[in-house]
Structure formats: structure tokens, C-alpha cells
Structure 1
């Protein structure tokens, strides 16, 4: 009984870690555009926003270390650079996005103030909370997540029974791929590596808890978190489908979520959700800033000065990027995600697979091939040349921004085949 309780407590903790309020704005728009093909979109979104992140937790269950351990089989230098890039992306994109979501959902509908003012006050408070490591955030986290889940479930269930009959046709040509790539924007796979390790280390294990027992606890907690994410994401996508005819053609992600909450729960429900989302965004931002500052403090002889400098840089970046609207931040995030997400997915999968198939050589070859074939996807969002188009036309699935998938699988099979030959 005690063990089951512990599994559920850690499962809910993991869920709240992934449950960044910014993610809430992604599924309803997907549903609006998916129309009658919403199941395919949901499956695609599930792969990158739920399944891969849960594999990340399984990898942590096996490694029981830090983010550095994910890439150490490639090389020490690679893992250090990978960690640096991951934290830099977290400071530059998902952290500022929380301020932008807060402005569009909780400030702009009620106050006539600039987004720059919002992001400045917002990250000023984030800095204060990060430096003081206030326990208020822990209290907020305990009550915030259940409240937001309750409101979202209310929106989902009320929406299912009160939605208009008209549903717009799908605007997606490849719904599964569109869902897959939108799942990148949740940053959940990155979160599974960045914050997952912190959570795994901080789990309250007894001193006599064995490695296998820890592994079982982390794995089951991950499954609970994954199931929770799937219910919320699928429900919001489906509501986006059901209410698609009520949204404006150019409605933004935050406008659609606000409209959903208003149409299902009325004005009070909409205001309540806005406030809770703003608070949840704030806890996410503090978590990112503190986690990143902790990492750089750790690799610099636990220097508090480095911690403060990193927190200042993170908050200044937050103010600079957070003043832009959510749609703009999502658009500028795409090239970075096309660059880092394939490598992150491959590192997660390699760390989950049995060790006999994932030697140091296999790690190096597969990661190198993945990096090489993800370059056209990355460049495709920065430059548009005839030469690049020709290259993408020769690589399977490259025009769907998944050109790295087949080469990664083939390199994994070939590297294992060659290794087996050498052993024989």
C-alpha cells in the first residue's frame, strides 16, 4: 500500500513537471485544423509529446544519473556541449514563452498594458524567487496542478456534451506528421532529460532501496504521468475539433483556449483558468531558471556567483524574448527544435534499448548520422534555396522534416551488424 502511494505521488509530481501551461495552448489549435482527421493528429502528437518523453523517464530509470549521462557514451566533450545547448535553448525559448502566454491569457484580455512591461515585471519576480528558492512555489505547485487539471477536465467534458454540431474539414495534408512536429513545441522530450534527472535524484528513496526497486518506481510513475498527459492532450484536441466552427480563421492559440474556456465554463471559469495558467507558467519559468543556474553552478565549483550571473542572463533573455507574441516565439523555436530534437530523441531511445545493442561505437555512429541528416531540416527553416530542395528531395521523408529517421534506423542496424561480425 505504501509503495503504491509512493508511485502515485511521484507520478503526479512527474505529470506536473511536464505540464507546462504553455503546452495547453498547442492542442486546441491542432484540433481546430485537424477536423475529421483528429485521431491521426492526436497519434502524431502523442509520439513526440507523450511517448518519447516517457521513454526519457525510462532512460533516467536505467541511468539514475543526470542529463550528462545521456550523451557520455558518445564522448565527454559531446555531452558537455549537448548539455550547454539544451540549457541555452530552455533559457531562450520555453522560459520566455511562459511570460508571453501569461500576457496573452491573463493580462491582455483585462488590462491595456504592453507585453514588454509584463515580461519585465514577470522575470523580475522570477529572478527574486529563483535566488531565494522560495517554498511558496512548492505550495503553489501542490494546489495549482490539481486545480488546473480539474478545470481542464471540466472544459473537456462540458465541451463534449455542449459543442455545436458543425465541424470544419481538416486543413492538414499529412495529419500524423503535423501532429508529430507540433509535439516538438511542447518541449516535453527536452523536459524529460533536463528536469527528469533532477526529479529522479530528488525522489525520497529509503537507503535500503535497491537499484531495481528504484527503476520500477520511476518507470511506473512515468506511466502514470504519461497517461495523464494523454488524457488532457487528447481531450483538448477533440474539443478544438468540436468547437472549430466557432473560432475565427486566424485565431491564435491563446485566443482559442480562452474561447474554449469561456464557451464551456462561462466568464468566471475563463478568468479562473487565466489566473491559474499565469501562476503555472510562473512556476515553470522559475524551475527552468533555477535548474539551468544550478547546472552552471555545479560545473564551476559550486560558485554562487555563477548561479546569480546565470539567473540574471536567463531573466534578461526572458524579458527580451518574452515580450513577443506566442506565435512568433513558436516560429523562431522551430529551427532550434529541428536541430536538437532528433538528437534528443535518438539519445533517449539508445539509452532505453538493451546495452548489447548500444555500445559506444553504436552511440557515436547513430548520433553522428542523425546530426548529419537533421541539418537539411534545420536549414530548411532558415534558408530556401534550390540546392537545399534538391538535397531534401533525395532523402526519404526530408520534405516532411523527418529526413533523419530512416538514416538513423539504418545506421543503428548496420553498426550492430558490423560489431557482431567483429565479435564472431
Structure 2
């Protein structure tokens, strides 16, 4: 029997979805972008919101339309390709980038502001302690933090709301000058900076989790599941949009609070100190630390569970140990280095995720979906790789003839053309698919 959710349950589902996306790492990118964009803040913010909020929203809606997350959306691809995509996503949001970033954000906002002379040794000792605690909690698959996480996210959100109101009512600084990076194409630069949230990748996984929650609540009708997932996605998008806009304005009014900054954590810590004094900084440090621990435990547990199920080798606990150790090692490169290293990877991989979402939306109009999906994603990957290699600093001028190559989006037009070709494939190709 299919159950209907009450308004309270729907709101709870929406806030749960919002909590999935709201990691402490996400709050460090808008302030820095706002600080560097200067008078081009609105344009840069619009581009960032498109990738930081818009893409995760349309990805969850695509998951709802397809009836599931990555496995369902990518069902027309070879199983091995789907496995490679899922593995790449778990590596990106796991030990490669997102999970080590939680420890680094906790360090930057929870300890570094109180140190007179922070050193590499300090960072190393902190990451050992942080991921040691994550390891202990993850061995029980994070059950210890389930209740804590449900409390921490509302507290973190209330803190951000209070900070946002304070920024509007009593800004502490003035607008910084425009950085050279944001002079020519602030919208595109903001768009690319939105990749750093990694939320489009996460949405491919979260779609499955939310549908599982709906099934547990007795919602079995696929149309009802899709409707509730879309509403939850919209609530999460509104919440993320509010957080990002307020943090952009914080960064855009922080000259004088900080004269320069390497990352957004420095800007937020300095702004909170200016607004609320040392007590505010202590509260921020405590909340961010606990939020980072919660996020890290969830990510380490999810990655360990995935690789345990994928390989069938080693135990879940062994994979937890491996993931936690890798995260600790990666975190020692520092926040600035981790972000700079992640950029080329995200620039190369994001087009594939966007192409998958695009193909999912136009699927009803495809006459040969197997060919179309594979062709569209292959083209997106090939040209996304060109952008990624360019972002890594390699000489790629041979591709200068590609539209938008100079702004790191050479993949856009070829992917659109590939989509048109995929839609135009005739029925004969579909017959060949059936025979295969």
C-alpha cells in the first residue's frame, strides 16, 4: 500500500536533503569568490549558483524522472563504464578531495585562528587526531553520530543565518578591488569555481539515498517518489542558495577585515571575530569542527561500504582504516594545495556528469538511447579532458579553435552537437541496438 507524506514529513525530507549537501567545506568557496570578484560580485555569484545550486537541483530532478540515481540514469552505458563512473565519484568525494577537505576546513576554522605560528607539524598532528577520531566513529558506520548530525546541521544553519543577518545589518568592511582572474569573464570564472562544491557528483548518489528513505516510509508509487524527491530537491536548493548568497556578500564586504586571503575559511574566521569577538570565534570553531567530523564520518563510511560491496575483498572495517589513512595523508598537503590540485580533475570530470543529466532529460525523445547516451558522454569526456589538461597547465593550444576553449569550457558546444546527433539517429540504429 502506497503511503502519502504529511507536510511535516515533506519538509523533513527537504531539510534532510539540504543537510546532505551542506558540508562545512561548501562554506569556504563563496566568501573567497566574493572577495576576489569585487564589483563583479553579482556576475560571479550567478555563475557559481548555476553550478553550486542549479546543477545539483536538476540532477536530483533527473534522478527522480529516471527513478533512481547513477545506476538508473546510466543504464544505457556498459556496466563497466557505470562502475568506473561510480568508483571515480566515490574517490573524488572520498579520499582524494572532499573528505580530506573536511579535516582541513576544521583545522583552518577550528584551530588555526588561535595559533600564533601554525606550522606543518601542527597540521600533521591535527589531521592525525581528526581522522583518528573519524576512524573510530566510522567503524560503527557512524551510528554514534546519527543523532548528533541531526542536531548539528540546524545549529550550523542557524549560525549561518545569524552571520548573514549581521552581514546585511552591520557589514564590517568594504568592497575589495577586482582580482585579475575576474576581470574578463566573471560569470564563467564563478561557474567554474562552483565545481569545487562537488555537489553534482554527490547528487548522483544522494538520489538513491533519498528514494530509499521514501521506500522505508512506505512511499512505493514511482510517481509519488519522483514528486517528493523533486520537492525535497527544491527545498535543498533554496537553502543552499540562501547560504551561498549570504557568504558571497560577506566576502564582498570584507576588505578591511582582511587585506588578502588564500581561502574562504580565513575570511569567515576574521569576519566572525570582527562581528562577535573571541566568543563568536570559539562557537564557530566548535560547530564547524563537529559538522566536519559528522560529514567526514558519513563520507568515510559510505566509501568503505561501496568498496567493500564492489570488491568483496577485505572487510568493511578494513576499508574504513584504508580510507581514513588515505584522507589523513592527503590532508597534509594543506587546504590551498588540495583545492588547486582538485581543479583540473573537476574541470575534466564535471562535463561527464552534466552530459549524463542532459541525456536523462532528453531520453524520451531518443530513438536509439544506447547509441545516444554512449556518444554524448564519450564526447563530453573527450572535450572535458581537454579542458582539464589545460587547467592543469599543459600546452593545449592546438585546440584553440574550439569555441570557449580559452575560458575552460570547450566541452559545451561539442556536447550539445553530440546531443543533437543522438536525437537524430534513425530507427534503423534502434533495430541494431535491439539485435545487440
Shift of 1:208: 5.9
Determine the C-alpha separation between the residues in 1 that align with 2:348 and 2:320. 25
Structure 1 stretch displaced more, 65-74 or 212-221: 65-74
Shift of 1:383: 4.2
Determine the C-alpha separation between the residues in 2 that align with 1:151 and 1:7. 24
Aligned to 1:33: 36
Structure 1 stretch displaced more, 327-336 or 346-355: 346-355
Q: 1:351 to 1:422 in 2, by over 3 A?
A: closer
Q: Deviations over 1:355-392 (max 9, x none)?
A: 2238121111110111111122111133433xx1131x
Aligned to 1:128: 136
Determine the C-alpha separation between the residues in 1 that align with 2:142 and 2:88. 27
Q: Tell whether the 8 Å contact from 1:342 to 1:371 is kept in structure 2 after alignment.
A: yes
Q: Tell whether the 8 Å contact from 2:38 to 2:178 is kept in structure 1 after alignment.
A: yes
Determine the C-alpha separation between the residues in 2 that align with 1:280 and 1:211. 33
Aligned to 2:379: 369
Give the 5 Å matches for 1:171-320: 171=179, 172-173=182-183, 174-203=185-214, 205-207=216-218, 209-301=220-312, 305-320=314-329
Aligned to 1:98: 102
Shift of 1:96: 0.5
Which residue, 327, 334, 337 being the options, matches 1:328?
A: 337
Shift of 1:155: 1.1
Structure 1 stretch displaced more, 184-193 or 204-213: 204-213
Q: Do structure 1's residue 348 and structure 2's residue 348 form an aligned pair?
A: no
Which residue, 39, 54, 58 being the options, matches 1:55?
A: 58
Aligned to 1:390: 398
Determine the C-alpha separation between the residues in 2 that align with 1:284 and 1:66. 20
Which residue, 380, 384, 392 being the options, matches 2:390?
A: 380
Aligned to 1:162: 170
Q: 1:306 to 1:195 in 2, by over 3 A?
A: farther
Aligned to 2:434: none
Q: Tell whether the 8 Å contact from 2:348 to 2:384 is kept in structure 1 after alignment.
A: yes
Q: 1:336 to 1:165 in 2, by over 3 A?
A: closer
Shift of 1:170: 2.4
Secondary structure at the aligned position of 1:299 is classed as helix
Secondary structure at the aligned position of 1:394 is classed as coil
Q: 1:3 to 1:247 in 2, by over 3 A?
A: same
Q: Tell whether the 8 Å contact from 1:70 to 1:79 is kept in structure 2 after alignment.
A: no
Q: Do structure 1's residue 15 and structure 2's residue 18 form an aligned pair?
A: yes
Determine the C-alpha separation between the residues in 1 that align with 2:190 and 2:428. 40
Runs of 4+ in 1 over 6 A off after TM superposition: 420-423
Q: Do structure 1's residue 415 and structure 2's residue 426 form an aligned pair?
A: no
Structure 1 stretch displaced more, 127-136 or 275-284: 127-136
- Over the aligned positions, Cα root-mean-square deviation in angstroms equals 2.2
Q: TM-score, normalised by structure 1?
A: 0.93
Shift of 1:265: 2.7
Which residue, 3, 9, 16 being the options, matches 1:6?
A: 9
Determine the C-alpha separation between the residues in 2 that align with 1:159 and 1:207. 43
Secondary structure at the aligned position of 2:276 is classed as helix
Q: Tell whether the 8 Å contact from 1:137 to 1:283 is kept in structure 2 after alignment.
A: yes
Aligned to 1:119: 127
Determine the C-alpha separation between the residues in 1 that align with 2:338 and 2:244. 21
Shift of 1:205: 4.5
Q: Tell whether the 8 Å contact from 2:134 to 2:324 is kept in structure 1 after alignment.
A: yes
Determine the C-alpha separation between the residues in 1 that align with 2:214 and 2:110. 33
Shift of 1:233: 0.1
Number of equivalent positions: 419
Unaligned runs of 5+ in 1: none
Shift of 1:255: 0.9
Determine the C-alpha separation between the residues in 1 that align with 2:387 and 2:352. 13
Shift of 1:273: 1.1
